Amino acid sequence: MDLALLRTFVTVHRAGSFTRAAALLGLSQPAVTSQIRTLERQLGRPLFLRRARGVTPTTIGDELAHRAAPHLDALVEIAETDLDEESGVRTLHLAGPPEFLSLRVLPALTPLIAQGLALRGSFSADTDEALEGLAAGHHDLAVVTARPRGELLTATPLCDEEHVLVASPRWAGRLGPGTLRRNGPVVLEQLPVVEVHESLPLVSRYWAAVFDSAPAAAGAVIAPDLRAVLECAAAGAGLAVLPRYLCEDALERGEVVALLDPPVPPLRTYFLAARTGTLALPHLARAHEWLLRAAADW
């Protein structure tokens, strides 16, 4: 049986869609459809049921996928091992938000370098972009803020991130805690906003969780890195919503002040995602387990 047909079949089975599989394989959708039909003719049985959105494997399709996928993954392992044999180093490609990768993930993995692991980071604050890169094989692991759908990717909760509303002491002094408690959203919307995107994703999420409303303010400073947002907020540019791990030292030093202390602080969950089956690779499994253990202290 043609291994190329099996590879296409397993990709469709994991992706749940001819269109998605075509994108991952770098093929046209008609080419994927043709390969699946060829395989079905060779086997004399249908492998997928076509639905309005995507495909569903038949019983035979499921059985073939469960038999073939581990062997195809093992061939990938052999190929990757051959590529790394000369240096004796296995390379781990990671994707995730720039701040979280820089301050949490990459430092946590550095002890594995002594065990023959090389690290390559790719900064991607956009979850969909990171998952697409992971599915296409550009990354081995991705830290994302949403659990991926379908069978192509798997994800494990990594940690929760508490969000804090902060501003410089000068702005905090002008507002006063009593004023904030009485007229929080109204007063806060008089302040400039520092954010990572024009859509104000962190501020909007905070407003929805704490005030059950949407912010009316526009961004005064937009910088696509939370470290820049923190520096601008500390310099007096306006209020910002930041993860506590990122601004904790600045809070302790008094460079920024927490404007509110809600009973239930807004949280965001990070997930550690991988392609289905790839955690059978020893270096990926080791890094995955290492990060889960490290995250227990985050």
- State the residue for tokens 């038949």: 58
Residue scoring higher pLDDT (82 or 278): 278
Q: Which segments of the chain are extended strands (E)?
A: 48-50, 55-57, 90-96, 117-123, 141-144, 153-167, 193-195, 219-222, 240-243, 257-258, 267-275
Q: What are phi and psi of 222, to 5 degrees?
A: -120, 120
Q: Which segments of 116-249 are extended strands (E)?
A: 117-123, 141-144, 153-167, 193-195, 219-222, 240-243
200 pLDDT above the threshold of 60: yes
Q: What are phi and psi of 270, to 5 degrees?
A: -95, 140
Burial 4-33 (b: 16+ CB within 10 A, else e): ebbbbbbbbbbbbbbebbbbbbebeeeebb
Instruction: Quote the pTM value.
Output: 0.72
3-state SS, residue 107: helix
pLDDT for residue 225: 94
Cβ proximity of 201 and 225 under 8 Å: no
Q: Any idea which of 171-180, 193-202, 229-238 has the lowest mean pLDDT?
A: 171-180
The model's confidence at residue 46, banded by pLDDT at 50, 70 and 90, is very high
CA distance 254 to 240: 15
136 pLDDT above the threshold of 90: no
Q: For residue range 80-92, what is the model confidence (pLDDT) as tens digits? A: 555 554 556 789 9
Distance of CA 90 to the CA centre of its chain: 22
Q: State the Cα torsion 52-7-148-215 to the nearest 10°.
A: -80
Q: For residue range 2-14, what is the model confidence (pLDDT) as tens digits? A: 788 888 998 899 8
pLDDT for residue 172: 86
Phi-psi map region of 17: left, alpha, beta (phi>0 left; psi -120 to 50 alpha): beta
149 pLDDT above the threshold of 90: no
pLDDT for residue 80: 55
Quick one: average pLDDT of 279-296? 91
pLDDT for residue 286: 92
184 pLDDT above the threshold of 70: no
For 51, other C-beta atoms within 10 Å of its C-beta total 10
Tokens matching residue 81: 């091992």
Average per-residue pLDDT in the chain? Answer: 88
pLDDT for residue 256: 97
For 297, other C-beta atoms within 10 Å of its C-beta total 7
CA distance 169 to 236: 8
pLDDT for residue 77: 62
**Stretch (H or E) spanning 80:** helix 59-84
195 pLDDT above the threshold of 60: yes
Cβ proximity of 197 and 222 under 8 Å: yes
